[in-house]
A = this chain, B = another copy of it.
Amino acid sequence: MDRSVKNCYPCHMARPRQFDEERVLHAVRDQFWNAGYAATSLQDLMRVSGLGKGSLYAAFGDKHQLFLRALRSYLDDSLGYLREKLDSAPRALDALRAFVMAPVSDPGGAAARRGCLMANSTCELATADPEVLAEAGRTYEGTTALVAECVVRAQKEGDVPADADPIETARALLAAQQGLVFMGRTGLDFDKLTATARSLAAQLLPGAG
């Protein structure tokens, strides 16, 4: 089943893949990100990946499975990046602040207008696609857990009141962050969005920037 491991052919080597699976997933992910799931056609996917229909179907299954693969790849990257950011910050409070401000961390604001693939997909598909809904639930639970860990660290460092519930605090921070992601997607002016992000971070987290 898993053809990503190269040296597992029965006895005769066959024709090797001429494409890099990760590269294709990346291109496909961008396409879904820009146009959404339903508005992306197989022709779009062929164009951005450079693959023929047959290759796409042989490698990934149908459109929906390919979408889920691309989505999961995106989530793995995002969660890994978040974990690294949260863990590597010298002071947990700074990491929490950066977490809330993440939607405005891109200088130009282009990323803010593009939003988040998982968020966009959830809004488009959550009602009708249980697998996407499940992925969303898992993702935001995972994110909450990571942030909550960071809250605990901030408490140990004396920056967050010890009586605050870490999970509850994390959920509030996550909700605020996702609200900012969404406001960015509505086209809200980047400077105003940044000001709002600062305001939210200041109100939800102790200490002055």
CA distance A122 to B175 in the complex (A): 18
Q: Are A175 and B179 in contact (CB under 8 A)?
A: yes
Mark each residue of chain A from 166 to 203: 1 if its CB lies under 8 Å from any CB of chain B, else 0: 00110110111111101101111000100110011001
For residue A192, give the distance in angstroms from its CB to the closest CB of chain B: 7
* Interface status of A34 (Cβ within 8 A of chain B): yes
* Interface status of A75 (Cβ within 8 A of chain B): no
B residues near A196, Cβ cutoff 8 Å: 168, 171-172, 175
* Interface status of A48 (Cβ within 8 A of chain B): no
Which of B127, B174, B176, B188 interacts with A140 by CB under 8 Å? Answer: B188
Mark each residue of chain A from 31 to 65: 1 if its CB lies under 8 Å from any CB of chain B, else 0: 00011111100000000000000000000000000
Which of B35, B39, B128 interacts with A35 by CB under 8 Å? Answer: B128
Q: Are B38 and A188 in contact (CB under 8 A)?
A: no
B residues near A39, Cβ cutoff 8 Å: 38, 124, 128
B residues near A139, Cβ cutoff 8 Å: 186
B residues near A200, Cβ cutoff 8 Å: 172, 175-176, 204
CA distance A169 to B200 in the complex (A): 9
CB nearest neighbor in B for A34? B127
For the complex of A and B, the 4 pairs showing the least CB-CB separation, nearest first, are A179-B179, A123-B123, A38-B38, A175-B179
* Chain A interface residues (CB < 8 Å from chain B): 34-39, 113-115, 119-120, 122-128, 133-134, 136-137, 139-140, 168-169, 171-172, 174-180, 182-183, 185-188, 192, 195-196, 199-200, 203-204
